[in-house]
Amino acid sequence: MDFTLGELVARLGGELVGDPAIRVRQIASLEAAGEGDVAFLSNPRLSAALQTSAASAFILSPKAAALTERARILTPDPYLYFARVAQLFNPPKAHAPGIHPSAVVASSVPASVSIGANAVVGEGCDIGEGCVIGPGCLLGDRIALGAGSLLHAGVKIYDDCIVGARAILHSGAVIGADGLGFARDGDKHWVKIPQIGRVILGDDVEIGANTTVDRGALDDTVIGSGVKLDNLIHVAHNCRVGDDTIMAAMAGLAGSTTVGKRVMVGGKAGFSGHLEVADDVTVSADTNVTKTIDKAGVYTSMVPLQSHADWVKNFSHLRRLDAMAERLRELEKKLASTESREKES
Amino acid sequence: MDFTLGELVARLGGELVGDPAIRVRQIASLEAAGEGDVAFLSNPRLSAALQTSAASAFILSPKAAALTERARILTPDPYLYFARVAQLFNPPKAHAPGIHPSAVVASSVPASVSIGANAVVGEGCDIGEGCVIGPGCLLGDRIALGAGSLLHAGVKIYDDCIVGARAILHSGAVIGADGLGFARDGDKHWVKIPQIGRVILGDDVEIGANTTVDRGALDDTVIGSGVKLDNLIHVAHNCRVGDDTIMAAMAGLAGSTTVGKRVMVGGKAGFSGHLEVADDVTVSADTNVTKTIDKAGVYTSMVPLQSHADWVKNFSHLRRLDAMAERLRELEKKLASTESREKES
Amino acid sequence: MDFTLGELVARLGGELVGDPAIRVRQIASLEAAGEGDVAFLSNPRLSAALQTSAASAFILSPKAAALTERARILTPDPYLYFARVAQLFNPPKAHAPGIHPSAVVASSVPASVSIGANAVVGEGCDIGEGCVIGPGCLLGDRIALGAGSLLHAGVKIYDDCIVGARAILHSGAVIGADGLGFARDGDKHWVKIPQIGRVILGDDVEIGANTTVDRGALDDTVIGSGVKLDNLIHVAHNCRVGDDTIMAAMAGLAGSTTVGKRVMVGGKAGFSGHLEVADDVTVSADTNVTKTIDKAGVYTSMVPLQSHADWVKNFSHLRRLDAMAERLRELEKKLASTESREKES
């Protein structure tokens, strides 16, 4: 599968500067690119790498147009254009429709669906056209899967959950396990509260490897359309995540927290339960969202790195901050009275 | 499956105020409840929701009895009562006994056991009456599973581990993998120390999705009865977790740490290795237990959230706390000598 | 399988003090050891446990030789020697070669390979001699597995990834899922960037349960030889981890970060993206590596534990550190002018 640069801009737009007959067939980084590759420059600081790159063509912003004499496509957002070229050059793997003989499928599925070896699909499932259910996937009963969804090998979905169209779920993801719902019997044992809600994923959702989204306790856990969750993320029961929100790996949401639309969450960030986070908020990596955030902006609580020796010196004071503040107040008071006595005398 | 309120209190206790013939069949939140639902109020601040709720009956504490005129069950712990009603209305899913033909089972199991499609059970396992081993579960050799235990789809248990009665293990949980045990060969390679201990889970343990409990290095890793672990938790080799302890998602225990009974651990909390944590301790979310805790209480090290701009201003000082403390001492000294000179003059 | 102490030192070196005919067959901790066990002492502070231990022989450093009169092997690094004895006494479990009839294997594999029940191996894979692919493992197409590698039950590997010789991959590990690669379409949707790199694991790598290593976006994600990753670790796309680096559970690397050789990473530590970490660095548990580290040493940002009451008092000041610093500067200025006025008068 290869394209001329002329074909590329005919399909994807952008302004071509250079020979439209040049043939390209893959994307690559500036450093690794060779003949037939397209590379992109989104950061002008990397222009040195551009000079030495062996790519056949470049994707550049108009203001970077003069950085090279070679074939280039000018577009206001080179990274987005690059994504589109990458998709064109690397279409999803084709899966032959049909059910592998080793799979155990108790629901009827459209002929266009592909179900891999040793997968298990329970009763009453509603699997959309063109879905791919990878080897070893384990689906319970009455699960709905929207058209065109792709489950990589070894995804698990509990009963009654709903996945929208064009979802991509990665290996080891678990959708719909019970939330941590227990009432305490006096000060002794924990009594399980059956978790009778579902998980509902919107359209175009991607869920990373080994990420878990728990079913609701009473109501549902809802992940909006276009949401992208990285690996090893935990979404607790009754959470609601707004459309087009993206979370990096190891982020975690405690129960009943509502996150807005287009929120960006850094890796290892955590959210306390029962909070509301506004649309368009950015949460930095390793930050604890300990209270409701009601307006867009960037929020952070990450602890900066130090050499261990500096850390020992500095962080011992964290246990004495209140005493330091008190000593500061005391000094201010004393100095004020020194000054006032000085003035009087 | 429905019940009259009269039947409910006959089974579960509590004082009924209202018509005992009212029929109910499900639990719901105050907001979502409709005809036939029972809702509960544990927090008096939610009494507005109570007024507008369409539930057929409410579970209330005696002192909240006057908040509604409608049918209500009075009980000292409404949340606990709600849990019991929820269990009554939502019994565990029934699984037909028997071994699915696609399962590969090398041990003999009681006729009451249900083993799902494509599950694998090794040799010499001792599976208790009424156990459910879900589709795709992977059990090694010589594993003991207590009566009435439920393994959701895709649970993995390594050789020789012991699970007590009535356990619930969620999808993707891994019990008994090797701990991180290596000796260093000089300053070069890591030499593996075979992990020959087991994992022993007590009775009534629940383990969340994708949680891992490593086997002991020499002795066993032991999880007490009634322990509830949420998703994506790590319990390292040789840890001991006391009865009825509960941990929220993403908490982690380093090796050889002993946690007491009835400890409550917030999400993302971490424990250093070789510590002892007393009974009835509460550890806040995202808190690092860096030293032994020898008495009950609440412990915290979470870093509070700020706007990024405030964080930049404030947290840069974390690298200078010791210098600040030194300047404070210097000021105190100088002011003291100013004051003493003032007194002399 | 048992050995005399004479046979042990003939195989593994060390100086035997005591009867070479004593028979031993297992390792144990000082406390749990009985007849036939070998125990070791690496920390002289544990010499009391040595006195009361019922082990048949001890592994000691030469300077601890006098701590007991009983049979002992003297060696400069008792823990390393213990590891070697442990390996001798506990050889890896033998797996009968051959493909279980329930496995679905689309590649040809050497006769020495063992493939467990319900495992799935795709097309074009290159499986080395003596590999063990456990029950329920799910391997895509064109995967290379070096000789002698062991995949525990339920490991998933995506297409085109490469695993070196003698690897040990634990249950639930996911190798080669897509990295979190998206370009944003204006301020709206996320457009997926196909992840066309691979994961390459060197020789003698061990990967813990439910750990995920994502494939590269364009280039590969590379894990060096001898690297040991514990459970629930995330390695993002395009990372490079140097030989013999070890990471404790729940550590996470954001994308395109390069970690040097022999780095030791504590549990729950996190690395920002696009960083470089030098060889022989140690990162403490729960520490955020927020910037490049260009020289060996120990680095820390862990927040120390406090009682909740102390935390409330002390950590409220974290939001006012800049104001405190400003007040300190103000005091210094005022005191300096008080002093200079004093001097003048």
pLDDT, average across residues B326-333? 93
| A28 has a chain C CB within 8 A of its CB | yes
pTM: 0.97
Q: In angstroms, what separates the C-alpha of B67 from chain C's closest C-alpha?
A: 35
| A153 has a chain C CB within 8 A of its CB | yes
Residue B163 sits in the same domain as residue B254:
yes
Residue ranges in chain A modelled with pLDDT below 50? none
Share of chain C above pLDDT 90, in %: 94
pLDDT of residue B188: 85
Instruction: Give residue-wise pLDDT tens across range B139-158.
Output: 999 999 999 999 999 999 99
Say if the Cβ atoms of C177 and A152 lie within 8 Å: yes
Instruction: Give residue-wise pLDDT tens across range B75-118.
Output: 999 999 999 999 999 999 999 999 999 999 999 999 999 999 99
Residues 321-340 of B with CB under 8 A from C: 324, 327-328, 331, 334-335, 338
| A79 has a chain C CB within 8 A of its CB | yes
pLDDT of residue C86: 97
pLDDT of residue A339: 84
Residue B330 sits in the same domain as residue B291:
no
| C154 has a chain B CB within 8 A of its CB | yes
Catalytic residue among A237, A274, A308, A317: A237
Whether residue B345 has pLDDT greater than 80: no
Query: Which residue of A218, A302, A316 is in closest CB contact with B32?
Result: A218
- In chain C, what residues touch A136 (CB-CB under 8 Å)? 118, 120, 136, 138, 156
CB pairs under 8 A between A and C: 233
What is the tally of structural domains in chain B?
3
- Asked if residues C247 and C271 have their Cβ atoms less than 8 Å apart, the reply is no
pLDDT of residue C343: 82
Say if the Cβ atoms of C136 and A136 lie within 8 Å: yes
| A306 has a chain B CB within 8 A of its CB | yes
C-alpha–C-alpha distance, residues A105 and A122, integer Å: 6
Q: In angstroms, what separates the C-alpha of C177 from chain A's closest C-alpha?
A: 7
Subunits that touch chain A (at least 3 Cβ pairs < 8 angstroms)?
A: B, C
Confidence of residue C208 (pLDDT cuts 50, 70, 90): very high
**Among candidate residues A261, A294, A250, A262, the one with its CA nearest the CA of residue A275:** A294
Say if the Cβ atoms of C117 and B136 lie within 8 Å: no
**In a mutagenesis test of the C interface, which of A61, A171, A229 is the best target, namely the one with the most C β-carbons within 10 Å?**
A171
Residues 6+ apart with CB under 8 A from C234: A230, A231, A232, A249, A250, A267, C211, C212, C214, C251, C252, C253
**Among candidate residues A27, A341, A312, A65, the one with its CA nearest the CA of residue C193:** A27
**Among candidate residues C168, C172, C162, the one with its CA nearest the CA of residue C202:** C162
Share of chain C above pLDDT 70, in %: 100
CATH number of the structural domain spanning residue B16: 3.40.1390.10
Residue A211 sits in the same domain as residue A317:
no
Whether residue C264 has pLDDT greater than 90: yes
Rounding to the nearest 10 degrees, give the CA dihedral for residues C71, C74, C79, C83: -70
Residue B176 sits in the same domain as residue B298:
yes
CATH number of the structural domain spanning residue A296: 2.160.10.10
Query: Which residue of chain A is at minimal alpha-carbon distance from C101?
Result: A102
Decide if C326 is inside a domain: yes
Say if the Cβ atoms of B339 and A335 lie within 8 Å: no
Say if the Cβ atoms of A83 and C182 lie within 8 Å: yes
Residue C208 sits in the same domain as residue C78:
no
pLDDT of residue B152: 98
Q: In angstroms, what separates the C-alpha of A188 from chain B's closest C-alpha?
A: 7
Answer positive or negative: Cα dihedral of A77, A80, A84, A90. Answer: positive
| A192 has a chain B CB within 8 A of its CB | yes
Supply B183's token pair.
């000796």
Query: Which residue of chain B is at minimal alpha-carbon distance from C325?
Result: B324
Residue A193 sits in the same domain as residue A314:
no
- In chain A, what residues touch B100 (CB-CB under 8 Å)? 104
| A104 has a chain C CB within 8 A of its CB | no
| B77 has a chain A CB within 8 A of its CB | yes
C-alpha–C-alpha distance, residues C324 and C307, integer Å: 23
Whether residue B327 has pLDDT greater than 90: yes
Decide if C249 is inside a domain: yes
Cα–Cα–Cα angle for C132, C137, C143, rounded to 5 degrees:
75
Q: What residues of C are labeled active site?
A: 237
**In a mutagenesis test of the A interface, which of C99, C105, C120, C121 is the best target, namely the one with the most A β-carbons within 10 Å?**
C120
Instruction: Give residue-wise pLDDT tens across range C28-85.
Output: 999 999 999 999 998 878 889 999 999 999 999 999 999 999 999 999 999 999 999 9
* HSE-CB for C339 with a 13 A CA cutoff: 13
Query: Which residue of chain A is at minimal alpha-carbon distance from C273?
Result: A267
Say if the Cβ atoms of B262 and A182 lie within 8 Å: no
- In chain C, what residues touch A315 (CB-CB under 8 Å)? 300, 302-304
Say if the Cβ atoms of B172 and C172 lie within 8 Å: yes
Say if the Cβ atoms of A246 and C182 lie within 8 Å: yes
Last residue of a domain, one of C54, C72, C89: C89
Q: How many helices (H) and strands (E) does chain B have?
A: 5, 39
Please tell me what DSSP assigns to residue B142.
Answer: S
Rounded to the nearest integer, the mean pLDDT of chain C is 96
Decide if B120 is inside a domain: no
Strand B212-213 vs strand B234-235: parallel, antiparallel, or unpaired?
parallel
Residue B165 sits in the same domain as residue B229:
yes
Please tell me what DSSP assigns to residue A194.
Answer: -
Query: Which residue of B138, B303, B316 is in closest CB contact with C154?
Result: B138
pLDDT of residue A68: 94
Residues 232-261 of C with CB under 8 A from A: 232, 234, 236, 250, 252, 254
Tell me which residue range forms the domain holding C332: 308-344
Decide if A199 is inside a domain: yes
pLDDT of residue A46: 82
Decide if C138 is inside a domain: no
Say if the Cβ atoms of C188 and A244 lie within 8 Å: yes
- In chain A, what residues touch B90 (CB-CB under 8 Å)? 194, 196
Residue A231 sits in the same domain as residue A321:
no
Instruction: Give residue-wise pLDDT tens across range B219-268.
Output: 999 999 999 999 999 999 999 999 999 999 999 999 999 999 999 999 99
| B80 has a chain A CB within 8 A of its CB | yes
Residue-wise burial string across A307-330, b where 16 or more C-beta atoms lie within 10 A, e elsewhere: ebebbebbbebbbbbeebbebbee
Residues 268-287 of B with CB under 8 A from A: 268, 285-286
- In chain A, what residues touch B331 (CB-CB under 8 Å)? 331
Residues 6+ apart with CB under 8 A from C94: none
Please tell me what DSSP assigns to residue A154.
Answer: T
Residue C255 sits in the same domain as residue C337:
no
Query: Which residue of B79, B231, B318 is in closest CB contact with A314?
Result: B318
Consecutive H or E run containing B329? helix B321-344
Residue A284 sits in the same domain as residue A339:
no
C-alpha–C-alpha distance, residues B208 and A252, integer Å: 14
Query: Which residue of C182, C299, C331 is in closest CB contact with A331?
Result: C331
Decide if A140 is inside a domain: no
Decide if A200 is inside a domain: yes
Say if the Cβ atoms of B185 and C28 lie within 8 Å: no
Quickly count: other Cβ atoms within 10 Å of residue A88's Cβ.
16
Residue A187 sits in the same domain as residue A299:
yes
| C118 has a chain A CB within 8 A of its CB | yes
Whether residue C263 has pLDDT greater than 90: yes
Whether residue C259 has pLDDT greater than 90: yes
Query: Which residue of C189, C304, C327 is in closest CB contact with A332?
Result: C327
Query: Which residue of chain A is at minimal alpha-carbon distance from B311?
Result: A300
C-alpha–C-alpha distance, residues A320 and A306, integer Å: 19
| A65 has a chain B CB within 8 A of its CB | no
Confidence of residue C341 (pLDDT cuts 50, 70, 90): confident
pLDDT of residue B187: 82
Confidence of residue C186 (pLDDT cuts 50, 70, 90): confident
Residue A182 sits in the same domain as residue A62:
no
Query: Which residue of C172, C191, C252 is in closest CB contact with A80?
Result: C191
